[in-house]
Amino acid sequence: MRLLPPTGSMALRLAAMLALLAVVVFASVGAVLHWSLAQELRFSEQLQMEAKAHAVELLLERSQAPVTDLQREIAELQAGDGDLRIWLVDRAGHIVFGRPDLPFGAGEDRQPLVTIERTVDRSGPHAGLRIVVGLHPRARLALMRRFDRTTLQVCLGGILATGLLAVLVARRGLRPLRRLSADAAGISPLSLSQRLAAPAGAQELDPLVESFNQTLDRVERAYRQLENFSADVAHELRTPLAVMMAGLEVSLSRERPVQEMRETVGTALEEVRELSSIVDDMLFLARADRGEAAADLLPVALEEQAAQVIDFLDASIEQGGHRVRVEGRATVQANAALVRRAIFNLLGNALRHGAQGSEVVLSLEPTQHAGGARLSVRNAGPGLSEADCGRMFDRFWRREGSRSRSHESEGHGLGLSIVRAVALMHGGDTFASSRGGVTTVGLSLQAKDAGAREA
């Protein structure tokens, strides 16, 4: 249940909460003071009546005269206090002293009085006589009303002052947050490297600043990747488009035989197919970037999928004089088509960059994670630096000196990016290392639920 109305201002909400707290505190203090004062006044009344009753008792015990002869002395005891009354009642219940025109135990306004009783115990003519002392509570009640009015005025003033001070304190306390907001608003695509600085004396904002800066780190990386990706896409698409345009312009510059025109159109068609392959790969990577998971998961024997890919690449293997050997066996819940594509790209990368006539080893092994597997391709070649191993799964990345074009889509620098996408879609990751001229590139696959979304 809401105690405060909704408001868009944190400062006002904090001030309202502090004002509400002040209401509770002042009301509690006022209630405690009211109760304490009332108890103290009742105790004072009790002492006053006890003193009068004791004085009357002493008078009666010391005197042998009848009550009718002691009325003046008893009247003097209650003189000076118009709210105090004294009655003497004999054993038969008759009033032998007291105002006969007033009800027993009542004041002049006929309102009940606060009374105490005491009985004369000693032997004598007054033994057994009851002494009743009454006190009208109007003085106490009037004092309590004045106290309550004063307390209410003080509490209202305190609550109002607390509310106003709370607004000022809240606005001042939120100043670091407003500075952070202004700093954050000043960050633009041209200043993505700028970070927020935690304000001094506002440790509560440190987690917010840290989380925001981490978000900026991710945004900056994504923005830089997008910039690089756009530049690489433009570079990769420009060459086949330029080839097509040049071929078509030359063909249209003069009359040419049908066969020559057919060859020109065939060349343009190859370039279009190359562009289509790049676009398809980019769309696949975009789906993986959205967090799409692999679907149609079935138990897949990786050695069987590897054998199919090796058969398909038989011509390339023979052309380079390579030997491909498969080590180990592993079965994992996966999408068989995506697994074959990853193996194809890994082997294709190794065959293109491996030393002529070298052996390429495809290693398969189960992982400690139940149902998972690791798949890696190892080949001898020129080797890679640690920085190259960290970047080789980036889109359109190719090692310096190997920027030659190829009509295979994996030759565009997207092959290993697709391997990484396949790994992520199966809950795994990629890895690469290069030592002593031997490069190992691979991926891990983890068991996924069969209800994963379609890849």
pLDDT tens digit sequence for 200-248: 777 777 888 888 888 888 888 778 777 776 776 777 777 777 877 887 7
For residues 45 and 65, give the distance between their C-alpha atoms in angstroms, rounded to a whole number: 30
Can you list the alpha helix ranges (DSSP code H) found in 99-205?
138-173, 175-185
- pLDDT bucket at 409, cuts 50 / 70 / 90: very low
Q: Which pLDDT belongs to residue 145?
A: 93
How does strand 84-89 pair with strand 95-97?
Answer: antiparallel
Handedness of CA 245, 247, 253, 256 (dihedral sign): negative
Q: Where are the domains of the chain?
A: 10-159, 204-287, 294-445
What pLDDT is stored for residue 343 in this prediction? 92
Span 299-340, pLDDT tens digits: 989 999 999 999 988 888 888 888 899 999 998 888 899 999
Residue type for 214, please? Q
Nearest to 367 by CA among 293, 444, 306: 444
- 338-342, 396-400, 401-405, range with greatest mean pLDDT: 338-342
DSSP 8-state code for residue 197: P
At 32, is the pLDDT very low, low, confident or very high (cuts 50, 70, 90)?
Answer: very high
Fold of 294-445: Heat Shock Protein 90 (3.30.565)
Residue 403 is predicted with a pLDDT of 44
Split at pLDDT 50, 70, 90, the class of 33 is very high
Taking 60 as the threshold, does the pLDDT of residue 183 lie above it? yes
Residue 221 contacts by C-beta under 8 Å, 6 or more apart in sequence? none
Tell me the C-alpha distance between 97 and 65, whole Å.
14
Question: Residue 7: what pLDDT?
Answer: 55
For 324-354, the DSSP string reads EEEE---EEEE-HHHHHHHHHHHHHHHHHHS
CA dist list (Å): 134 to 70, 82, 97, 306: 19, 11, 13, 110
User: What's the rounded mean pLDDT across residues 60-83?
Assistant: 82
Among 299, 364, 367, 373, smallest CA distance to 336 is for 299
The confidence band for 406, taking pLDDT boundaries of 50, 70 and 90, is very low
% of the chain surpassing 70 pLDDT: 89
pLDDT for 107 equals 64
pLDDT in tens, 148-177: 999 999 999 988 898 888 888 888 877 888
Q: What is the DSSP string of 135-153?
A: E-THHHHHHHHHHHHHHHH
What value does the mean pLDDT take over residues 188-205?
78
Taking only the tens place, the pLDDT of each residue in 88-144 is 888 888 888 887 666 666 666 667 888 888 888 877 788 888 888 888 888 888 999
Question: What is the rounded distance in angstroms from the CA atom of residue 221 to the CA atom of residue 228?
Answer: 10
How high is the mean pLDDT of the chain?
Answer: 81
Quick one: tokens of 51? 């003193």
| pLDDT tens-place string over residues 419-450 | 998 988 888 889 998 888 888 999 998 865 53
Q: Residues 353-393: pLDDT tens digits?
A: 888 888 899 999 988 776 788 999 998 878 787 777 877 88
Does residue 19 have a pLDDT over 70? yes
In 372-414, which ranges are continuous DSSP H helix? 386-391
pLDDT band of residue 3 (cuts 50, 70, 90) is low
Residue written as token pair 């562009």? 275
pLDDT at 149: 94
Assigned token pair, 149: 């009015």
369 CB-side CA count, 13 A = 12
Quick one: pLDDT at residue 404? 44
Taking residue 179's Cβ as centre, other Cβ atoms within 10 Å add up to 15
**Looking at the predicted structure, is the pLDDT value of residue 192 above 80?**
no
Structurally, what CATH architecture does the domain formed by 204-287 represent? Orthogonal Bundle (1.10)
More confident residue, 324 or 192: 324
* Distance, CA of 30 to CA of 35 (rounded, Å): 9
The pLDDT value given to residue 38:
93
Rounded Cα gap, residues 122 and 91, in angstroms: 14
d(CA 81, CA 52): 11
State the pairing for strand pair 323-327/359-366.
Answer: parallel
> CATH says 10-159 is which class?
alpha beta
pLDDT at 451: 38
Task: Give CA angle at 353 (349, 357), nearest 5°.
Answer: 110
Phi, psi angles (nearest 5°) of residue 440:
-120, 125
Task: Give Rg (Cα) of the chain.
Answer: 50
**Pairwise CA distance, residues 379 & 358, whole Å:** 7
DSSP-derived letter for residue 365 is E
Query: Closest Cα to residue 335, out of 211, 416, 445?
Result: 445
pLDDT of residue 1: 45
Alpha carbon distance 160, 156 (integer Å): 6
User: Is the entire prediction scored with pTM above 0.75?
Assistant: no
